[in-house]
Amino acid sequence: MTRFRQRIERGGLVLFLALITIGLLLIVSGFIGALLWAALAALLFQPLFQRMLARWPGRRNTAAAVTLLVITVAVVIPALIVASLVVEQAAGVYNQIRTGQVDFRHYFQQVHDALPIRLQNVIDRSGFDSFEQAQSRIAQALSSSASMLASRAFSIGADAAAFLLVFGVGLYVTFFLLRDGERIGPAVVRALPLEPSVADELAERFVSVVRATIKGSGVVALAQGALGAITFWIVGLPAALLWGVLMAIAALLPAIGPAIVWGPVAIYLLATGAIWQAVVVIVSGVLVIGLADNILRPILVGRDAGIPDWLVLVTTLGGINLIGLSGIVIGPLAAALFLTGWRILTEQRLGADAAQPVDTEG
């Protein structure tokens, strides 16, 4: 009877925790993104906080405040400046599309006319009923994509008050996570209903994947996007910063990379007779932008996140589709924890099978 009562009480506690956790998530759902990035920032800049704490022993508030100031000056303010410039350029491109100054059909026609006659005939006979129909559909897709990007930019500007509130909450939470992270992290790991060794391994995997994704993929993508923007500015391409941001987003995706942006640009420049500009874009794309990943990633990360490229691609796209920008981190993180969890379960099962006595009697 006592054991049955204990089971009922434990089940009631688990049910209570599940319900109150769901309720808490619903309450803070409007700040989930801010809380997530606050946790990621605190995790990524924890070594810097430890250096500040070593400089001012016992003064955790001061060390956390200085670390937060460094984050704000080195990361947040430049990001806001770049975002404002991108919004401005996106608005300009959107207005040019509306007024007809940017005509994707005309650009495709220029590329088509520059191709050899045989290749033109092949393109005209394949895929769509005519090249004009294919041209119209592709141009419509590009125009709608640019319009969507601009409308998102306008919506951010319209919801400035809500953005500032979420942004302030994120900085506020980051301060406390930096200051108290050494206690919060181990407490969360101990509270997980898992074996201590399994919980520790999952926590270690969580930290390594987050740092690999942000320091590796994120920083490398930003570097490639910046190099792309500089290249486009050199060759005189309009809205170079906007194209650089698109290149940075593409650089987050394995097997696709920034070539999906600079490749078509180079083709267009070649087709329109801008030879030296096309050569600059190709040389920069292959020798500068393409090699940035191979040079910077080992320096920033030191070791790979241990996730297959195809799985990173699928989970990153799926994460972005599900939860937006935060999916860049959450997607690969879910994949890494999935693989780690199944590996641990497999090892435990194999270990249990090996530990069973073998029946040698006939």
Q: Render pLDDT for 182-213 as a digit per residue (tens, 0 to 9).
A: 888 888 888 777 788 888 888 888 887 787 77
- 41 has pLDDT over 70: yes
- Contact present, 36 and 177 (Cβ < 8 Å): no
Separation of alpha carbons 168 and 153, rounded Å: 20
- Ranges of each domain in the chain: 31-191, 193-347
Asked whether the whole model's pTM tops 0.85, one would answer no
Separation of alpha carbons 69 and 31, rounded Å: 22
**What is the reported pLDDT for 259?**
82
- Residue 127, classified by CB atoms within 10 Å of its CB into exposed (0-12), middle (13-18) or buried (19+), is exposed
Mean model confidence pLDDT for the chain? 76
pLDDT digits (tens, 9 = 90+) for 259-284: 888 888 888 787 777 788 888 888 88
pLDDT digits (tens, 9 = 90+) for 323-355: 777 777 788 888 888 888 888 888 887 776 665
Residue identified by tokens 């932008």 is 289
List, as one string, the DSSP characters of 284-340: IIIIIIHHHHHHHHHHHTSS-----HHHHHHHHHHHHHHHGGGHHHHHHHHHHHHHH
**What is the reported pLDDT for 151?**
55
